[in-house]
């Protein structure tokens, strides 16, 4: 664990460094309060800190206040070191944002014990953050494919359409539906169908840019949002995605299964500033046109109807 020690007395700083290095800490040593605050506010800065109360620049409580105001990453556990032992001083130190208070001179064993307490607190915080992020992921992602779920992709689509309207840009929306997928489930069973869905999700993600969006819209339907995709390239990009699905059979527990998809395509610039629900109705109509045209093809939705000769 990386730990910062801040003390402007060279002897004290050296003693602290040796004590902590023997305890297997990675020590970052500074002699100035401003430098201490800068180190602790770095994204990968130390998460444990021992701060002397009196230092040039900022004192210990001042460093605490800066860190609590500016640090937006993981929590930093701060221990103030000082010869001050009045109740008023202790209260001032803790209210500045310190987590603990150690009065000089202190025994090395007590210092190590207090740092172990700090480590336990940081480990607990990490577990809570991990649990929170896990809950957030589960709330916004499909359990089977790990793609964005319907609610999340719809919310992000609405945001993207708003941004595109403000900037007079263009967003391409694709709605892809696997052809004859019911036959896969009926013939091979739902576990094999799940394998197919997961592989198609992987192929779609592989085919888009890192800032594009792919979500499971429902069943065997996938919604793809291509940010800043020019209208002239919309069909070309849709064809690339269609081909990525169909390029080779999906390997499953029951052997290789050929898979194709029909794709509805819509470019937002042609549809002015319509809400996401209207955009989806338009791209859904294009999808059904692709189905009616024999499947495994793309069709472009326009305000005048669906272009069939693509």
| Residues belonging to the active site | 220
Tell me the angle at which helices 190-207 and 181-188 cross, rounded to the nearest 10 degrees.
140
Return the structure tokens found at 217: 């819209």
Distance of CA 15 to the CA centre of its chain: 41
Give me Rg for the CA atoms of the chain: 29
Asked if 245 and 203 count as a contact pair (C-beta separation under 8 A), the reply is: yes
Compute the residue count for the chain: 310
> Which has the closest alpha carbon to 306: 258, 251, 291, 277?
291
194: Cβ contacts below 8 Å, ≥ 6 apart: 144
Tell me the angle at which helices 108-140 and 10-22 cross, rounded to the nearest 10 degrees.
60
Distance of CA 82 to the CA centre of its chain: 40
Residue 15, class by beta-carbon neighbours within 10 Å (0-12 exposed, 13-18 middle, 19+ buried)?
A: middle
Which residue reads 């506010």 in tokens?
Answer: 41
Indicate the SS3 state at residue 262: strand
Per DSSP, which regions of the chain are E strands?
A: 2-6, 26-30, 48-52, 77-82, 100-103, 172-178, 213-218, 221-226, 250-252, 255-257, 261-267, 298-302, 305-307
């Amino acid at each position: 664990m990386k730990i910062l020690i801040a003390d402007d007395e060279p002897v004290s700083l050296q003693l602290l460094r040796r004590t902590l290095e023997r305890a297997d800490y990675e020590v970052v040593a500074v002699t100035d309060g401003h430098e201490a605050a800068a180190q602790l506010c770095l994204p990968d800065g130390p998460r444990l800190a021992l701060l002397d109360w009196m230092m040039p620049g900022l004192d210990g409580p001042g460093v605490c206040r800066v860190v609590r105001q500016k640090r937006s990453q993981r929590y930093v556990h701060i221990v103030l070191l000082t010869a001050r032992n009045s109740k008023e001083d202790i209260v001032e130190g803790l209210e500045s944002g310190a987590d603990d208070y150690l009065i000089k001179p202190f025994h090395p064993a007590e210092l190590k014990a207090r740092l172990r307490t700090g480590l336990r607190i940081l480990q607990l915080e990490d577990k809570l953050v991990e649990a929170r992020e896990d809950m957030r992921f589960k709330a916004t992602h499909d359990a089977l494919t790990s793609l964005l779920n319907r609610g999340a992709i719809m919310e992000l689509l609405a945001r993207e359409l708003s941004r595109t309207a403000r900037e007079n840009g263009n967003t391409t929306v694709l709605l892809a539906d696997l052809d004859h997928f019911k036959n896969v489930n009926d013939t091979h069973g739902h576990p094999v169908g799940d394998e197919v869905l997961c592989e198609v999700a992987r192929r779609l993600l592989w085919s888009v840019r890192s800032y594009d969006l792919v979500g499971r819209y429902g069943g065997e339907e996938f919604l793809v949002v291509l940010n800043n995709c020019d209208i002239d390239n919309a069909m070309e990009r849709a064809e690339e995605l269609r081909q990525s699905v169909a390029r080779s059979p999906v390997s499953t527990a029951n052997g290789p299964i050929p898979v194709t998809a029909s794709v509805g395509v819509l470019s937002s610039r042609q549809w002015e500033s319509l809400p996401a629900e209207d955009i989806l109705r338009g791209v859904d109509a294009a999808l059904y046109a692709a189905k009616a045209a024999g499947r495994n093809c793309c069709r472009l939705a326009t305000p005048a109807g669906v272009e069939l000769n693509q």
